[in-house]
């Protein structure tokens, strides 16, 4: 059976809430998915999953340091994540505060590692973005993204 993981960094809980919503929807869609804080994950652990989703607060328009550290550790396994399904989401404080550049930064790294990224023509195009605490719109986007990632992963790996 295919498996997924959502890895997040969160200081004040907003990104964690998004992570739980994305992972919850992946599980509901039938893809066994774990949801872990980045401090509980090493790069080699990622080899075990078919779908890898990263979530970060927006820090100066970029991902937070702990997630970048995880990504940099992935170099030891370069090429081994090729063909897995990826995704990313971010929480910021302000509209125009850089949450989409943060999502894109994570997606760029996942693309370099060979992951497959499914865009969304109707929902948040690159990945769910939130301003502060997830509101109803964000909750729907997180659930939608989780479902779509699970559907694609199951199609490819089951
Ligand atoms: C070091 C630092 C840098 C930040 N940079 C930005 C930023 O560039 N744009 C923005 O909108 N919010 C910025 N924020 C606010 C956080 O992205 C925002 O509060 C987010 O919801 C926190 O997520 P969390 O609750 O998961 O920790 C920054 C916060 C910190 C601590």
Distance from Cα 154 to the centre of ligand 1, integer Å: 33
pLDDT at residue 48, as a whole number: 98
**Looking at the DSSP assignment, which residues form a beta bridge with residue 59?**
62
Residue range 38-74, pLDDT digits in tens: 999 999 999 999 999 999 999 999 999 999 999 999 9
Name 35's bridge partners. 6
Read off the tokens for 80: 């081994």
Q: Quick one: CA dihedral 27, 7, 38, 74, positive or negative?
A: positive
* pTM: predicted TM-score of the whole model, two decimal places: 0.99
User: Are β-strands 116-117 and 51-57 bridged in parallel, bridged antiparallel, or unpaired?
Assistant: unpaired
Distance 95 CA to ligand 1 centre (A): 12
98 CA to centre of own chain: 16
Q: Which ligand 1 atom is at minimum distance from the Cα of 10?
A: 26
Ligand 1 centre from 143 Cα, in Å? 22
Tens-place pLDDT, residues 86-117: 999 999 999 999 999 999 999 999 999 999 99
């Amino acid at each position: 059976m295919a498996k997924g993981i959502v890895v997040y960094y969160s200081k004040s809980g907003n990104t964690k809430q998004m992570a739980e919503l994305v992972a919850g929807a992946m599980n509901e869609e039938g893809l066994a998915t774990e949801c872990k804080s980045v401090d509980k994950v090493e790069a080699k652990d990622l080899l075990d999953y078919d779908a890898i989703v990263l979530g970060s607060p927006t820090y100066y328009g970029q991902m937070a340091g702990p997630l970048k550290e995880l990504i940099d550790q992935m170099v030891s396994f370069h090429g081994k994540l090729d063909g897995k399904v990826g995704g990313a989401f971010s929480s910021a404080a302000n509209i125009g505060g850089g949450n989409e550049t943060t999502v894109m930064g994570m997606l760029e790294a996942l693309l370099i590692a060979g992951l497959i990224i499914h865009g969304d023509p109707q929902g948040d195009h690159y990945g769910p973005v939130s301003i502060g605490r997830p509101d109803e719109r964000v909750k729907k986007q997180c659930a939608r993204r989780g479902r779509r990632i699970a559907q694609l992963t199951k199609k490819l790996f089951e």
